[in-house]
Amino acid sequence: MTLLFNPENVGLSKVFRDYQEEAVKFIWEIGDRGAISKEVWAKVNERLVDKTISRASIINFLNAMVDEGVLDYDERTGKGGYHRVYRSKLDEFSFKRYLAQVTISSLMKDYPEETKEVIRSIM
């Protein structure tokens, strides 16, 4: 999954759906303790209003964020086999910097002169 940027949205919703934002915020909140997908899924559904999200959607999102380099995980044994315990690899501040870097780098690749001009004009 590649992060998709929507400039019309506000805050983290520029790149996350509502349930994704709640999931990553929860991971940031709990810190080094980490959480299994079931715990993230329960917390997200507790926080969403008038909506529920499937556990598969949470698992797919968490794994995509691992692939993206935003989250990390350890595997632990438990009831039913192995479970991934997800942790933040990038805290909220670092994620926002990463997001800015990825966005600007992409614009520089496709529109280098225009991007430089706009950056100079807003500095």
pLDDT in tens, the chain (123 residues): 578 889 999 999 999 999 999 999 999 999 999 999 999 999 999 999 899 999 999 999 999 999 999 999 999 988 888 999 999 999 999 999 999 999 999 999 999 999 999 999 998
Quick one: 62 and 85 in the same domain? yes
**Separation in Å, CA 12 to CA 15, 34, 39, 103:** 6, 21, 21, 14
CATH of the domain at 72: 1.10.10.10
User: Do 26 and 35 form a contact (C-beta atoms < 8 A)?
Assistant: yes
Q: Show the DSSP H helices in 69-111 as ranges.
A: 92-110
Residue 4 in any domain: the answer is no
Rounded distance between C-alpha atoms, residue 87 and residue 62, angstroms? 10
Rounded distance between C-alpha atoms, residue 107 and residue 17, angstroms? 23
At residue 101, the pLDDT reads: 94
Quick one: 82 and 68 in the same domain? yes
Q: Helix, strand, or coil here: 34?
A: coil
At residue 1, the pLDDT reads: 53
Buried (b) or exposed (e) across 59-74, using 16+ Cβ within 10 A? bebbbebbebebbebe
Quick one: 78 and 21 in the same domain? yes
At residue 20, the pLDDT reads: 97
Domain of residue 39 covers: 14-90
pTM of the model: 0.89
Quick one: 76 and 39 in the same domain? yes
Quick one: 22 and 74 in the same domain? yes
At residue 113, the pLDDT reads: 97
User: Do 19 and 58 form a contact (C-beta atoms < 8 A)?
Assistant: yes
